[in-house]
């Protein structure tokens, strides 16, 4: 793991989200969970060598962020946005969440398969503590400021720890990798990016995927979103149908997909076109 400040560790180099650990005087607070079981268990061991685990916070409900919640069921309470309930453990592409996770392990973390509980034993460990707009939590001398930052998904949150000058923003930011707009509502996403940009006491932004960045990356993320919208709006202005836009528009050369998901490039391009198409036509999905 990468130690980004005195008490904050983040993993940005494995498939799935960027899970993090914040060490406080009272114990560890996890933010999201790793998708590779072997890695997840190592992280839990690493934390417990230093003390108890106090909380797990989920920044969103997509499988790559909540898959590991099972392993925290007997450890600590889980915190998340109240709307997380609606999408928790529902779908993951064409597969159900359990089969999707098995598939990931089979392809990328074979030793993890032995550590995976059966479908019956797997605990769908939803947040026990939820909030709507914002929430502040004191653990030891650290403050965890949780904000609802909808956009990438409806239940998206940011976790700001001012004492460490770190904010975990989940998939509101994808750094140096393809942005997934498939579940997004673009206006709130843009608003949430501006909100994060205006937060004080932030030196490090931990994105959902890709390397840790500074605040100046927010402008790059906004620029990429506007490029997507402009390309699709341009296509519509030329009279292209949605299918023609899908055929003709691609930002595949812009940057890679996050680690271990190269096969998703076409899906991302197609669903981003569809989302921007609806956006330009004035139709929002939520
Ligand atoms: Zn993600």
- Map out the domains of the chain as residue ranges: 2-219, 222-280
Instruction: Indicate whether 200 pLDDT > 80.
Output: yes
Task: Please give the average per-residue pLDDT across 211-233, as a whole number.
Answer: 98
- Measured in Å, residue 66 CA sits from the centre of ligand 1 at 10
Mean pLDDT of the chain: 95
Q: List, in order, residues 6 or more apart from 74 with CB less than 8 Å away.
A: none
204-209 vs 166-174, strand pairing mode = parallel
- Measured in Å, residue 3 CA sits from the centre of ligand 1 at 21
- Of 12, 5, 3, 4, the closest CA to residue 208 belongs to 12
Model confidence at 153, pLDDT cuts 50, 70, 90, reads: very high
Q: Do residues 18 and 59 lie in contact, with contact meaning Cβ atoms separated by under 8 Å?
A: no
Listed range (75-79, 82-86, 87-91, 215-219) with the worst mean pLDDT = 87-91
Residues 157-181: pLDDT tens digits? 999 999 999 999 999 999 999 999 9
Instruction: Indicate whether 91 pLDDT > 80.
Output: no
pLDDT for 286 equals: 64
- Measured in Å, residue 159 CA sits from the centre of ligand 1 at 15
- Measured in Å, residue 240 CA sits from the centre of ligand 1 at 31
Residues 116-128: pLDDT tens digits? 999 999 999 999 9
- Strands (DSSP E) contained in the chain are 2-5, 8-10, 20-23, 28-31, 53-57, 78-81, 129-131, 134-139, 142-148, 157-161, 166-174, 204-209
- Measured in Å, residue 238 CA sits from the centre of ligand 1 at 33
- Measured in Å, residue 40 CA sits from the centre of ligand 1 at 16
Top-level class of domain 2-219: alpha beta
% of the chain surpassing 90 pLDDT: 88
Task: Please give the average per-residue pLDDT across 237-251, as a whole number.
Answer: 97
Tell me how far apart the alpha carbons of residues 17 and 159 are, in angstroms, rounded to a whole number.
15
- Measured in Å, residue 18 CA sits from the centre of ligand 1 at 8
Residues 137-146: pLDDT tens digits? 999 999 999 9
pLDDT for 261 equals: 86
- Measured in Å, residue 8 CA sits from the centre of ligand 1 at 20
């Amino acid at each position: 793991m990468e130690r980004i400040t005195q008490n904050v560790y983040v993993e940005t180099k494995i498939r799935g989200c960027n899970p993090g650990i914040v060490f406080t005087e009272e114990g560890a607070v996890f933010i999201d969970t790793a998708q590779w079981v072997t890695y997840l268990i190592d992280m839990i061991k690493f934390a417990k060598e230093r003390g108890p685990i106090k909380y797990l916070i989920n920044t969103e409900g997509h499988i790559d962020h909540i898959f590991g919640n099972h392993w925290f069921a007997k450890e600590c309470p889980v915190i998340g946005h109240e709307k997380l309930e609606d999408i928790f453990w529902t779908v993951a592409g064409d597969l159900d969440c359990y089969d999707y996770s098995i598939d990931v392990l089979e392809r990328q973390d074979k030793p993890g398969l032995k550590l995976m509980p059966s479908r019956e034993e797997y605990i769908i460990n939803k947040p026990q503590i939820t909030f709507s707009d914002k929430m502040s939590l004191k653990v030891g001398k650290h403050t965890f400021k949780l904000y609802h930052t909808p956009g990438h998904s409806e239940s998206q949150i940011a976790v700001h720890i001012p004492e460490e000058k770190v904010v975990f923003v989940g998939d509101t930011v994808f750094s140096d990798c393809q942005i997934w707009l498939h579940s997004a509502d673009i206006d709130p996403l843009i608003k949430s990016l501006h909100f994060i940009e205006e937060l004080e006491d932030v030196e490090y932004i931990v994105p959902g995927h890709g390397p840790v960045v500074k605040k100046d990356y927010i402008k790059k993320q906004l620029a990429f979103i506007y490029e997507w919208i402009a390309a699709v709006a341009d296509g519509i202005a030329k009279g292209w149908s949605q299918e023609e836009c899908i055929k003709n528009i691609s930002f595949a050369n812009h940057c890679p997909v996050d680690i271990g998901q190269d096969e998703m490039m076409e899906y991302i391009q197609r669903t981003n076109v569809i989302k921007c198409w609806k956006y330009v036509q004035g139709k929002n999905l939520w």
